[in-house]
Structure 1
Amino acid sequence: MSDLFNLEGKAALLTGASRGMGKEMALALAKHGATVVISARKPEPLEAAAAEINDACGAVRAHAVAANAGRPEELQLLVERARALAGPIDILIGNAGVNVHYGPISEIPDDAYQKIMQTNVQANLWLARLVVPDMVARGCGSMIFTSSVGALKPSPTLGAYGISKLALIGLVRNLALEYGPQGVRANAICPGVVKTDFARALWDSPEGEERARTQVPLRRFGEPRDFAGVAVFLASSASSFMTGQALTLCGGTNMWS
């Protein structure tokens, strides 16, 4: 039982990991023995995050490689660099995402829609294609992608983002079906409102605080650290019979979805 969450000898690649949920998930994987390659667009906060993880582990477990998740040529270089730093990829966490439109989908410009879909969906397909040969060669591997409870219901203001996150769940299910016979698993995490910079508009206000007190069964919004455990669970042998699933971490707001 002590080996259920052991990630020693594993190499993990995480996008969107310079802060917030991504950084906490990377830290958790590293503390359980994995070598993590973290990526985001801006190198300075990324290097700071890697140094923080290494300090917490008392060893060099994290490496920073800057890349734009929406550009296939940069993802190719990211995966090549990750292999050089950590070896063949055992664990992928696609956490990078964007939302460049707030309002009705009837008003979204084409370029904004394309950017949301390319970064939130297609980039994760590109990543999966790039790393899955390593996993197939070993007969095991775990791919984890950050979706959203926005995938589970319509929204008058975040509709395009929700559409992309629902499409991402569809991608996860197809990856699970196609690569399951080779021992490779794929799952999604669906956060509710989490207190990150990305979601600040949803929680950092008196109205947001009131929603947390009255509409969330656990009476609080999520914190980035709430996603550490589920990342380790999905990355490790503890979840060896789980694939094609969308796990909702929302404090109870979507328990019936």
Structure 2
Amino acid sequence: MAKLEKEIEKALDNPHQEKTRSEEDILVDQLSEGIETYRDKKTSVFLSALTAGLEIGFSFLLLGILHNILKERVSKDVIFYILAFAYPIGFIIIILSKSLLFTEQTSLLALPVLHKRRSIGELLKLWGIVICGNLIGGYIFAFAGGHIGLALEIISVDSIGEIAYHVTRPHNLIIFGSSIFAGWLMAVLSWLLSSTKETISRIVVIYIITFTVGFAGFHHSIVGNIEVFAGLIFTSELSVADYLSFQGIALLGNAIGGVVFVAALRYRTIASNF
């Protein structure tokens, strides 16, 4: 474990050095990146998270545009599988621009706690800042993007409502389990991105993982925030209680998926090699 600590300090002192990509190197990379985020000013963390909440809105906007185009041409059984091909766009923008997205940060920020470099209280505080930034950015985009999209007639109220219904229609237990899978995959994405620094490779990795989340219909709390909030403000099909129930369950499931199935398992497995 002392060797792991030395490697972390070395990575923090030289964040841009070229590294080999063994699983031990990836753990060191993830730990050092997580610790650096704790060291950032909280205002910077919030603004980065707010930016991510805005940028992820482009996934929602593209889903709405495609749904509006295809809703009279493609059956309801198929249309959401087609929409999954546009789902990764917002994620590509966010991750390549280094904005802070909660589901990518669940595992990353939990690792310094597992390594006893930060406390659970500090983790919850930082998660809270990232979540607030992501949600507020999403509210802004849902309101502004929704009104602009409707004015340009590139999306429709029917499409907004059907997307929101598709996200919220499963039973709460299904949403919870689905959110765990989404959080698991998004945390795995963070680990995979540490294995390559080449832009095209990173885009391919981001696309594959987030396409899987969208194609399977797994529930992502930050994209889902915009989808359901837009349904709340533009249609009469959803209530505030529906929104709050979905959002709480999705956030919890995403957090569990990232922390339990990625951060804890990988940390315990790899750290034992040091």
Confirm or deny a common fold (TM above 0.5): no
Structure number with larger C-alpha Rg: 2
When you count helix as a share of all residues, which structure comes out higher?
2
When you count strand as a share of all residues, which structure comes out higher?
1
